[in-house]
Structure 1
Amino acid sequence: MPIPTLRVARPTNDLAALVPFYRDGLGLEIIGHFEEHQGFDGIMLGAPGAPYHFEFTQHPEHDAGRAPSQDNLIVFYLPDAQEWDRAVARMRTAGYAPVAAFNPYWDRNGQTFEDPDGYRVVLQNAAWG
């Protein structure tokens, strides 16, 4: 069975503020963008060859608000310690300091970072499963 591509799509009020977090901090690449597509502007960011990417959209007449809680997470499992160290260092170098996880489980082997909309990304130094 082929692996499907996962797109995580959500609105924002400020595309320009999100791009540095996902591009410079997480190291994702801009893989597409659009302007005024049926009233929406948007950008897609992903990792080359990865079966996932993020899409953020903005509409001038829609207030996207902030994350509904501090436990809205995207988790990246990075089992290699050196790769994990590089990922955390990249976030810090880009100006994003870790925050305490709402669920302390994520602080045991990971670091949590909050994007400008209040959504959180965990860099977890563990294998999936």
Structure 2
Amino acid sequence: MTIAKLRIARPTDDIEALKPFYIDGLCLKVLAKFSDHSGFDGLMVGDPELPYHFEFTKNSEHLAGRAPTKDNLIVFYLPDTREWKQAVQRMQDVGFAPVTSFNPYWDILGRTFEDPDGYRVVLQNASWG
């Protein structure tokens, strides 16, 4: 069976403001970027070895605004406690403090961080499943 590849795409009003969070904090790599493609600028970040990436797009004629709720989450499962602690520390070192999760479940084994657009990423110290 073929494993589907996943692109999480969303608009932003400021691509540059997202770079410290996703590139420096989460250690994702720039996979591609484009400008003025049918009126859109874009940035794709991820890891070329993994079957997912994020695409952020900006259109000068459309305001994207902030996340619609505090429960819009991307969750990364990091079962190794040492690696999880390093990931949490790296986010803090880049300047992002953990926030209290809207759903308290995510605060038990994880830390939630909010990007400049108000979207949240949970670093969960647990295995998937």
TM-score range, shorter chain: over 0.9
TM-score, normalised to structure 2, is 0.98
Tell me the equivalent position of 2:2.
Answer: 2
Tell me the equivalent position of 2:58.
Answer: 58
Tell me the equivalent position of 2:92.
Answer: 92
Instruction: Give the residue type in structure 2 aligned to 1:10.
Output: R
Tell me the equivalent position of 2:71.
Answer: 71
| CA deviation after TM superposition for structure 1 residue 74, in Å | 0.2
TM-score, normalised to structure 1, is 0.98
Q: How many Å separate the matches in 2 of 1:80 and 1:26?
A: 16
| Seq. identity, % | 66
Tell me the equivalent position of 1:127.
Answer: 127
Q: How many Å separate the matches in 1 of 2:63 and 2:117?
A: 12
Q: How many Å separate the matches in 2 of 1:47 and 1:83?
A: 17
| CA deviation after TM superposition for structure 1 residue 20, in Å | 1.1
Instruction: Give the residue type in structure 1 aligned to 2:94.
Output: A
| CA deviation after TM superposition for structure 1 residue 36, in Å | 0.3
Which ranges of structure 2 fall in alignment gaps of 5 or more residues? Answer: none
Q: Does 1:109 align with 2:109?
A: yes
SS at match of 1:68: coil
Tell me the equivalent position of 1:24.
Answer: 24
Residues 67-126 of structure 1: per-residue CA shift (max 9 Å, x gap): 000000000001111110111111011110000000000000000000000000000000
Q: How many Å separate the matches in 2 of 1:85 and 1:126?
A: 12
Q: How many Å separate the matches in 1 of 2:71 and 2:83?
A: 24
SS at match of 1:22: helix
Q: How many Å separate the matches in 1 of 2:112 and 2:58?
A: 25
Number of residue equivalences: 129
SS at match of 1:79: coil
Q: How many Å separate the matches in 1 of 2:85 and 2:3?
A: 28
